Each structure stands twice: as structure tokens, then as C-alpha cells.
Amino acid sequence: MGWVLALFCWCSGAWLTPSRHLTVAGATGSLAYLRRAAADFEKTYPPNTVALSGGGSIAGLVEVSLGRVDIGISDVAPQRQWTRGVDLSSLALGRIPLLIIAHPGVGVSSLSTATIRALYSGQVTSWAQVGGRPDPVVVMTRPLSSGARQVLQAKLLGDRPMSPDAVVVLSNGAMLAAVQETPGAIGFVESGIVPSRVALMAVGVTQFHSQDGATWPYAVTPTAYWKKSSSVWVRLLAEFLATRPYRRAFGLYPRAS
Amino acid sequence: MKGGWNDERMPRYVTRGATLLFGLMALSLMAVLVVGAWPLLREPRPLTNLMSPLWSPLTHRFGLVPFVAGTIAVTVMALGLAIPVGLGTAITLARLMPQTLQPAGVKLLTVLTAVPSVIFGWWGLLVVVPWIRGQVGGPGFSLLAAGVVLSLMLMPTFSLLYYQALRAVPSRYQEASDALGASPDQTLIGVVLPCAFPALVQGLFVGVARALGETMAVQMVIGGQTLMPKGLAAPGATLTTQILTDVTVFPQGTRGHAVLDLMALLLMVAMYLLVRAAERWGTRS
């Protein structure tokens, strides 16, 4: 029985030690940046440790409101149904351009907003209808919990519902890989740089270049949310995440510009 | 040492406590799902909405038929592919392979059963989805891709279970059959397989339970489409993959969350029925 007791004491000790283990969850578009910034935070403020996980914007809001994580990252503004009225503080990390991408073989390099709506609503089913090759259109989307999807719906699709034929992929990275690999695919990614091995669509006459990240009209704004009652370390971490000078290298542009 | 740690009563308390804790956990899991799904079950005609083929949470339409159809299709496909290969592997291992090589074969299968499902899903993304896209066109993300990936996950499990079932047949039965002049195939078909049948059926139910419950690997290749599947090569979704996709959208207390609770409850009931069936059919000789 001795080893059981020893194990119990060891576990209890680990639980009872005052810990500064901070947790962050939510939107996946800024996860690469958050990994780097969290590692820097741990180095700057030892013995703090930071655990990161995805799950999507709405998950970030729900989890922080329920107190399951310290900071929730969300591309969409909190709604009462997700936060249950919990009072949250917020700090924007920056803005990430939302880019419309397609498989390189579609034969089209620019789309009007009306065409994007028609493609995403399932009205246009062949790229030949919009001047491309006669390949069937494969619409790729993200789950309902994705902030990027919400932004696409609000800023580009308006009240036109997304095609129910859309293939659902779970993350930003999975979307990029799926569009690269699937002939006829159209999708959207959060990225501050021109993604490789896909056709980047100009929207109307506006073509995205990496130096245009701050002015590109379609963008998500990943924002850190935390409970007002959280510890000073949580606020410090949020401020740290929102102020790193290397944000731009990860496609996060300052909001003001 | 009465009252000390070496007291004989101590292990008894610990084991009883552990059993009680386990029972409470199982009951609380069921209770959470029932309580969560209760607002939906209390509605006047709960089945009317749920039996619809339309899943549109934004318009409060929660038809589960596409997911039930997807679950059945993927499970049947996976079993159809995995059972013959699993049985073939088990027969080879138990009856044809030299005794000295059998432990190595069993070890290999054991390692394969422990491979995390996300690795099978990754392999499905890299190999199965492009292959299906090349063969039948479309996006490649499909029920078929999910069925193939799932079948590969199930094959080692079936092989091991069936190997153990075949090895459990008393050797004297086989020797008696041989003595009567039966060929190895006649012995296999006429003696070994019928004797092992209950255990084979039990293995089948274990496999079905695993197929029904698998989520991650299936989610990575199925396409997540919430319409009624238009064919095996079309994208779709299963009960488990849709729970995973939408679990973060619906906070507790919403109707959407109640629907997800009901979906989980359906899966739990299905698992319970499978276990009961395994007990009933698996013990018949």
C-alpha cells in the first residue's frame, strides 16, 4: 500500500503547489503566432507556463466564459448565447487577411463578389461558367464554429446561405491542404502571406499582395478575451500576445492601419 | 497490524471504492446525456424533426437521418472489407504459419491495434482520398474513404480476436477430424470455424462497436457534408463526426446541444445493445 500512498502524496503535492499554468484556446488562424509568443512569455516570465489549443473561435468564447481556459481567442465578437452574459475583457491581436483560394487548375485568377456568392451558394457548379476550365466546382468550408467562416458569410456572402454541398474541413491548415489537392476546389484561408500551390483569387479588381495585409478589405480580427475577474498574469499574457513586434511575420497586421 | 496500511481490509476497500467510482462515472455519464437531451425528448413530437433529412442548425432544423445513414454506410463498408481480411489473416496465423513465427505475427498485430486513429486518418488523407478522387472523380472526401480507412483500423483488431478464437478450439477436435481423413480445409470449415463461431460473432460485435465509435480518422476523410449521402463516393458525416464538428457551436442549454446529447445517447444505446448481443450470441455454442 506504501506506493499507493506515495503516489497519492505526490499527486496531491503537484495539485496543491501554487501554479501559474495559463491556458489559451480558440481560433486556429493565429495558432502559429501564438505558439511563438507563448514560448517567449514563458521565457520572459518564469515559472509561468502556457498551454495552447485550437477548437475554433466560438469554442474559445465558450471555454473562457465557462472558466475552462484563461484566454479565449476569437475572430468573432462574443454573443450572449456563447458567453452567457459573462463580462469579458478583450484585446485585439491584429488583423489577418481572409483570402479566397482555389485549386491551381481552375483557370481563373479573379472573381467578383457576386461570383463568389454564386460559387459558394452552389448556383455556379462548373468553373466553365465563370471563364475557367470545365471542372466541377468543389466548395470547401469550415465548421459553423469557425470565425473565418462567419467573416466570409458576413462580408462576402451576405444573406446568401452557403451551399449544403460544401465539404467541411476542420482547420485553416487543413483547408489549405484540401484546396491544394482537390481539382476544382474553392476555399478560404486566413493568411498574411500569399499561400503557395493554390490560385489566389483577386476579389473584383483587388489583388492581394503580402505588403497589403493591413489594407485588404476582407480580414478576421483575432482577439484575446478573458474574464474581468482573472488574475493579473492572465491580463499580462493577453497584453504580451497583443504587442509582439514579430506579429507581422506571422501575417498579423496592426489594426489601426 | 490492525488499522495499519497492511490491514487485510484495506485492499478490499480500495477495490470496492474503485468499482463504486467506476459505476458512478458510468451512471453520471448517462445522466449527463439524458439530462442534456431531456428538453428535446419532452417536446410534443420529438421524432418528427429528428427524422428529417435536413440538418440546418441556423434555421433550427436538426434532422439526424443523414448522420444515421452515414454511420450505417461507413460501418457496413468497413466491416465488409475488414472481416474477410481479418479472418484470412487469423487463419493464416493460426493454422498455416509455423509455430515459431506466430508470436511475431501476434506482436505485429498488437502494435497495429495500438496505432492512434489520427495516423490512420492522416494516411487516409494522403493516400485514400487522392486515390478515390482519381478513380471516381469528385473531391475524394467521401463515405467510401471513411469506410476504407476504418476497415484498415479494424483489420488488426479482427485478426487478433479471430486468431484467439481459432486458437481456443481444442486441438483434439482437429486431431479427431484429421484421423477421420478430413483434409485441412474440411477440418477448418467443418470443425474449427463452427467451434469458434460464438467467439467469432463476439469479435464481430466488438468490431462493430469500434466502427460506430471511431471519430477522428473518419472525420479527417469523410468530408463533413450534412446532406443525405448521394452515393458512397460522395461526402457525408456520421453521428460521431457531427458531434465533433458542432460540439463547440452549441453551448449547454441550447436546443442544438440537446440534439448533440441525444446523438451521443443514441450511440451509447447502440453500444449497449451490441454488448448485449455479443454476450447473447457469443456464448451460444
Q: Which residue has the cell 501575417?
A: A251
Name the packing angle between helices A232-242 and A31-44 (round to 10°): 120
A185 shares a domain with A149: yes
Q: State yes or no: pLDDT of A14 exceeds 50.
A: no
Same domain, A74 and A120: no
Q: Do B139 and A138 touch (CB under 8 A)?
A: yes
Burial of residue B8, with CB atoms counted within 10 A of its CB: 0-12 exposed, 13-18 middle, 19 or more buried: exposed
A166 is a domain residue: yes
For residue range A147-180, what is the model confidence (pLDDT) as tens digits? Answer: 899 889 998 898 888 888 899 998 888 899 899 9
Mean pLDDT across B106-118: 93
Dihedral over alpha carbons A189, A193, A199, A202 (to 10 degrees): 90
Q: Of the segments A14-18, A179-183, A252-256, which one has the largest average pLDDT value?
A: A179-183
For residues A34-40, average pLDDT: 95
Among A96-100, B189-193, B280-284, the least confident range: B280-284
Whether residue A64 is contained in a domain is answered as yes
Q: Does A87 share its domain with A150?
A: no
Q: Which residues in B lie closer than 8 A to residue A181 (C-beta atoms)?
A: 129-130, 133, 140
Q: What confidence tier does B6 reach under pLDDT thresholds 50, 70, 90? A: low
B151, B159, B190, B191 from B173: Cα distances, Å: 32, 22, 11, 7
Tell if the CB–CB gap between A144 and B130 is shorter than 8 Å: no
**Sequential DSSP letters for A2-36:** HHHHHHHHHHHHHHHS---EEEEEE-STTHHHHHH
Q: Which of A140, A167, A169, A175 to mutate to test the interface with B (most CBs of B within 10 A)?
A: A167
Among A10-24, A131-145, B55-69, B87-101, whose mean pLDDT is lowest? A10-24
Determine the residue of chain B that is closest to A186 in CA distance: B139
| Average pLDDT taken over every residue of chain B | 90
Q: Closest-CA residue in chain A for B250?
A: A82
DSSP three-state, residue B197: helix
> Residue B259: pLDDT above 80?
yes
3-state secondary structure of A148: helix
Domain total in chain A: 2
Nearest to B225 among A4, A81, A165 (CB): A165
Q: Is B135 exposed, middle or buried (0-12, 13-18, 19+ CB in 10 A)?
A: exposed
Residues A175 and A107 reside in one and the same domain = yes
A141 pLDDT higher than 80: yes
Summarize the confidence of residues A68-76 as an average pLDDT: 93
Average pLDDT of B46-70?
A: 87
Beta strand A202-203 with A199-200 is unpaired
CB-nearest to A58 from B133, B227, B249 is B249
- Whether residue A105 is predicted with pLDDT greater than 90 in this model: the reply is yes
d(CA A199, CA A108): 8
Check whether B199 has a pLDDT greater than 80.
yes
Residues in B 234-253 with any Cβ partner in A closer than 8 A: 235, 237, 245-246, 248-249, 251
| pLDDT, position A15 | 47
Q: What is the mean pLDDT of residues B81-94?
A: 96
Render pLDDT for B12-35 as a digit per residue (tens, 0 to 9). Answer: 889 999 999 999 998 999 999 999
**Does residue A240 lie within any of the structural domains?**
yes
Residues A198 and A238 in one domain: no
Asked if residue A144 is part of any domain, the answer here is: yes
Residue A255 is assigned to a structural domain of this protein: no
How far is B224 from chain A, CA to nearest CA, in Å? 5
What average pLDDT does range A201-210 have in this prediction? 88
Q: Beta strands A71-74 and A21-26: pairing type? A: parallel
**What pLDDT is recorded for position B4?**
56
The answer, for B10 touching chain A at a CB cutoff of 8 Å, is: yes
Please tell me the distance from the alpha carbon of residue B105 to that of residue B153, in angstroms, as a whole number: 17
Q: Does A36 score more than 60 pLDDT?
A: yes
Chain A residues in contact with B139 by the CB 8 A cut-off are 138, 167, 178, 182, 185
Q: Which of B248, B249, B260 best tests the A interface by mutation, with the highest count of A CBs <10 A?
A: B248
Site of grid cell 478575451? A225
CATH number at residue A158: 3.40.190.10
Model ipTM value: 0.74
Kindly state whether residues A41 and A17 are assigned to the same domain: yes
Whether residues A84 and B251 touch (CB distance < 8 A) is answered with yes
Distances (CA, A) of A134 to A67, A125, A204, B26, B58: 51, 10, 22, 55, 33
Give the range among A13-27, A87-101, B201-215 with minimum mean pLDDT: A13-27
What does the pLDDT average to over B48-57?
Answer: 86
Q: Are A76 and A126 in a shared domain?
A: no
Interface check B99 vs A, CB under 8 A: no
Rg of chain A on CA atoms, in Å? 21
For the stretch B122-145, pLDDT in tens is 999 999 999 999 898 888 999 999
Domain identity same for A122 and A202: yes
Asked if residue A65 belongs to a domain, the reply is yes
* Co-location of A84 and A109 in the same domain: no
Res A8 pLDDT > 60: no
Per-residue confidence at B282, pLDDT binned at 50, 70, 90? low
Please indicate whether, in this complex, the C-beta atoms of B5 and A5 are within 8 angstroms of each other: yes
Query: Is pLDDT of A16 > 50?
Result: no
Q: A143 phi and psi, to 5 degrees? A: -65, 165
Which chain B residues touch A134 with a CB distance below 8 Å? none
In contact, A35 and A26? CB cutoff 8 Å: no
pLDDT at A4: 52
Q: Do A82 and B251 touch (CB under 8 A)?
A: yes
Residue A148: which domain range?
A: 97-212
Does residue A237 register a pLDDT over 70? yes
Which grid cell sits at B275? 454488448
Q: Are residues A183 and A230 in the same domain?
A: no
Q: Using the predicted structure, report yes or no on whether residue B175 has a pLDDT greater than 60.
A: yes
Q: Closest chain A residue to B256 measured between Cα atoms? A: A81
My answer on whether A151 and A201 are in the same domain is yes
Answer yes or no: is A105 within a domain. Answer: yes
Distance CA B184, CA A147 (A): 63
A-chain residues near B129 (CB < 8 A): 181
Task: Give the pLDDT score at A13.
Answer: 44
* pTM metric for this prediction: 0.82
Q: For residue B225, give the nearest of B148, B139, B131 by alpha carbon.
A: B139
Is A256 within the bounds of a domain?
no
pLDDT over 60 at A257, yes or no: no
Q: In this structure, are A107 and A176 located in the same domain?
A: yes
Do the beta carbons of residue A92 and residue A62 sit within 8 Å?
Answer: no
One-letter amino acid identity for A38?
A
DSSP state of A201: P
Cβ B226–A164 below 8 Å, yes or no? yes
